[in-house]
């Protein structure tokens, strides 16, 4: 009897040890399925922290991170001129062995090599809002900016004609931008100017030789607006191809009480909303879906970290023109104040 008990105990102990051994092995080395279920760490390198536009992108990223149980590390800049700081932030993310990186590049050329280095370290890199001058990235989510520029020019011409401006009158259109190195801005200006050249009256001139760069500084953008109004007596319209420039133009025109100036901008802010709803200005803005850039950017980054490639490398998130005819419609509100579906 004692022998039988001893044999049973020996067998149980052996099975127990084997079971413990298998459990330890799975915990230490992990399986493919286990790795997929681990919490991922995604670095989100935004452009301007606290900026109205980028705050919406960031919120989209945070919502997706909460939904997917992702640790989201957010870093950003105070100015679009801080290229070296963004390079360092990217290198820090690589050194921290992030599972994936989401980046809004402040300079499309200067960030190309650093992004290439990050990509070659086998960390998925997802670009949002602004394209870079390299193919070494995993996916990109952004507006088709050439088409968006053409849309802005279409709106500008139509609104100038609606204002009663003669097609033979001398008219000037001023432009200011956030950054001269942003491919987003470069593409929007190209789209705008290509459409303008082909469709606007010859006497209507875009002041391309005096495009001012405000570095995302609203105070500087307001000052440039005043400069344009003072320098160009035939100024009839202004174009802001990014949020900061649009806010600067709106604020400057309001301070100067220049309701005679047609304005087309980008994105949605309290300033542009007020200008639209006041019904004093001839104004429209090209609304981007930046929340989706952040939200889908995180989802794409997690898929890539899990070894799943997106069906498309470049994803167009779309645009919509907003003016007094549709500013209060549900389809616009859904973009301005987005929620997860």
- Domains of the chain, CATH where assigned: 37-143+290-317 (3.40.50.2300), 145-288 (3.40.50.2300)
Dihedral sign (CA 161, 252, 147, 282): negative
Q: Which residues contact 298 (CB under 8 A, 6 or more apart)?
A: 42, 44, 60, 61, 64, 65, 68, 70, 72, 102
Which pTM value belongs to this model? 0.78
What pLDDT was estimated at residue 263? 97
What pLDDT was estimated at residue 11? 41
Residuewise pLDDT in 10s, the chain (341 residues): 444 434 433 443 333 433 433 333 333 333 334 445 689 999 999 999 998 889 999 999 999 999 999 999 999 999 989 999 999 999 999 999 999 999 999 999 999 999 999 999 999 999 999 999 999 999 999 999 999 999 999 999 999 999 999 999 999 999 999 999 999 999 999 999 999 999 999 999 999 999 999 999 999 999 999 999 999 999 999 999 999 999 999 999 999 999 999 999 999 999 999 999 998 999 999 999 999 999 999 999 999 999 999 999 999 999 999 999 999 999 999 898 886 44
Q: Which residues contact 117 (CB under 8 A, 6 or more apart)?
A: 91, 94
Q: Where are the alpha helices (DSSP H) in the chain?
A: 2-29, 32-37, 52-68, 83-95, 112-120, 145-162, 183-199, 218-231, 243-256, 270-278, 290-305, 330-336
Cβ neighbours around 297 below 10 Å, total: 30
Q: Which residue has 């994105």 as its token pair?
A: 267
What pLDDT was estimated at residue 43? 98
What pLDDT was estimated at residue 32? 39
- Closest listed residue to residue 173, CA positions, set 221, 107, 232, 133: 232
Question: Is the distance from CB of 74 to CB of 44 less than 8 angstroms?
Answer: yes
What pLDDT was estimated at residue 222? 98
What pLDDT was estimated at residue 9? 39
């Amino acid at each position: 009897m004692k022998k039988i008990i001893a044999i049973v105990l020996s067998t149980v102990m052996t099975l127990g040890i084997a079971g413990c051994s298998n459990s330890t092995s799975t915990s230490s080395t992990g399986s493919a399925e286990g790795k997929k279920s681990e919490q991922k760490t995604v670095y989100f390198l935004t452009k301007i922290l606290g900026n109205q536009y980028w705050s919406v992108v960031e919120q989209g990223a945070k919502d997706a991170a909460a939904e997917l149980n992702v640790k989201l590390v957010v870093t950003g800049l105070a100015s679009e001129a801080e290229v070296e700081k963004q390079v360092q932030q990217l290198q820090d993310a690589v050194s921290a062995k992030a599972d994936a990186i989401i980046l809004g590049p402040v300079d499309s050329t200067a960030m190309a090599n650093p992004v290439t280095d990050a990509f070659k370290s086998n960390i998925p890199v997802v670009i949002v809002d602004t394209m870079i001058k390299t193919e070494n990235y995993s996916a990109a989510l952004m507006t088709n900016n050439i088409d968006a520029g053409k849309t802005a020019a279409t709106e500008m011409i139509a609104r100038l004609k609606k204002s009663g401006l003669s097609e033979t009158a001398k008219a000037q259109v001023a432009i200011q931008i956030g950054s001269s190195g942003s491919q987003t801005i470069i593409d929007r200006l190209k789209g705008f100017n290509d459409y303008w050249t082909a469709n606007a009256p010859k006497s209507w001139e875009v002041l391309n030789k005096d495009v001012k760069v405000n570095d995302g500084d609203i105070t500087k953008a307001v000052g440039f607006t005043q400069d344009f109004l003072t320098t160009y007596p035939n100024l009839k319209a202004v174009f802001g191809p990014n949020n900061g420039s649009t806010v600067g133009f709106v604020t400057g025109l309001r301070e100067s009480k220049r309701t005679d100036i047609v304005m087309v901008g980008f994105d949605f802010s309290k300033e542009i909303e007020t200008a639209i709803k006041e019904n004093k200005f001839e104004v429209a803005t090209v609304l981007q879906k930046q929340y989706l850039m952040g939200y889908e950017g995180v989802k794409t980054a997690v898929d890539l970290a899990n070894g799943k490639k997106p069906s498309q490398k470049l994803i167009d998130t779309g645009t919509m023109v907003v003016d007094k005819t549709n500013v209060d419609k549900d389809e616009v509100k859904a973009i301005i104040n987005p929620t997860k579906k």
